[in-house]
Structure 1
Amino acid sequence: MAAAVYDPDPSFCRWFVEPALYVFGRRRVLTALLDYLRTGTTAERAGARRAWYCAHLPLRADRSPAYAPNGKRNTALDEADDVVDQWLESSSASDGQGQT
């Protein structure tokens, strides 16, 4: 996730985020980005925001057999509604402090 956060080009950070989504799951990726948002430097928080956008890509069966209709993948790896809620709360708090 560090590579995605530190890449200054928003269109290139996808190349780091997308494989992580397939390997580690959306929940773990979003949790790592939330940690950057909460504890990172100003540049890391900005990078986490860029990567957050890419972390919501739809996961496709043609990219990983685990996402095929008969694929075997623990659905908990991609359940992240609570992490999204935490992101929104933390993002609002950091915006209110004048941080970007």
Structure 2
Amino acid sequence: MTEDEPTAGETAFLASAREVARLLGVTEPPADPDGRHARRLAHAVRKPLLETAQLPEALFAPLMAAAVHDPDPGFCLWFVEPAVYAFGRRRVMAVLVEYLRTGTAAERAGAERAWYCAHVPLRPDRSPAYGRGAIRDPALDDTGDAEAAWREARRQLPLHNLG
């Protein structure tokens, strides 16, 4: 592999971001030579994700895959935050526990980054899913069992795999 070829994680990130864009009906920006195509695609879906009160169920897995495979730790929030608003913090965290338990080393590292982002505060001005008049089941954000499962999964990892 040369320096210019994408890594497996970057390829998985692009595939996940493409699926998110397809499901949202967002037109994919033209490919570019600077290697930032996946980031531009992620930017194109960011606003529609946060402006939609309810996301289709089919978006959940690609959102979580994009969050875990995002090679830039500063941006996985772009996928985690709308998933938390639309599907609930508990469900997001449960999927991250599964990535930690069964994922590749790169996926486990991505799950660690996404776990941090999954604690994003819910604000009514941030998403119509949590806005005025929206009724949100408190069970969506009850994370006690997911946090206990996370701690247990981390304890079972070899020390060299912990972030």
The one-letter amino acid of 1:35's match is E
State how far apart, in whole Å, the 2-side matches of 1:44 and 1:35 are. Answer: 10
How far apart are residue 70 of structure 1 and its match? Answer: 5.0
TM-score, with normalisation over the residues of structure 1? 0.89
Equivalent residue number for residue 47 of structure 1: 110
Identical positions, percent: 61
For 1:88, which of 133, 145, 151 is the aligned residue? Answer: 151
Aligned residues: 99
State how far apart, in whole Å, the 2-side matches of 1:66 and 1:39 are. Answer: 31
2:134 matched to 1:71?
Answer: yes
State how far apart, in whole Å, the 2-side matches of 1:7 and 1:67 are. Answer: 25
Equivalent residue number for residue 7 of structure 2: none
How far apart are residue 95 of structure 1 and its match? Answer: 3.9
The one-letter amino acid of 1:15's match is W
CA radius of gyration, larger in: 2
State how far apart, in whole Å, the 2-side matches of 1:89 and 1:66 are. Answer: 31
Equivalent residue number for residue 62 of structure 1: 125
Call closer, same or farther: CA 1:95–1:70 in 2, change over 3 Å: farther
The one-letter amino acid of 1:71's match is A
Select between 87-96 and 19-28 the one with higher mean Cα deviation: 87-96
Q: Which runs of 5 or more residues in structure 1 are unaligned?
A: none
CA RMSD of the aligned region, Å?
A: 1.5
State how far apart, in whole Å, the 2-side matches of 1:46 and 1:22 are. Answer: 23
Alignment map for 1:7-22 (pairs within 5 Å)? 7-22=70-85
How far apart are residue 63 of structure 1 and its match? Answer: 1.9
State how far apart, in whole Å, the 1-side matches of 2:104 and 2:148 are. Answer: 21
State how far apart, in whole Å, the 1-side matches of 2:131 and 2:76 are. Answer: 25
How far apart are residue 27 of structure 1 and its match? Answer: 0.6
How far apart are residue 69 of structure 1 and its match? Answer: 6.7
Call closer, same or farther: CA 1:81–1:69 in 2, change over 3 Å: farther
The one-letter amino acid of 1:20's match is A
TM-score, with normalisation over the residues of structure 2? 0.57
Query: Which has the higher relative contact order, 1 or 2, with Cα contacts under 8 A spaced 6 or more apart?
Result: 1
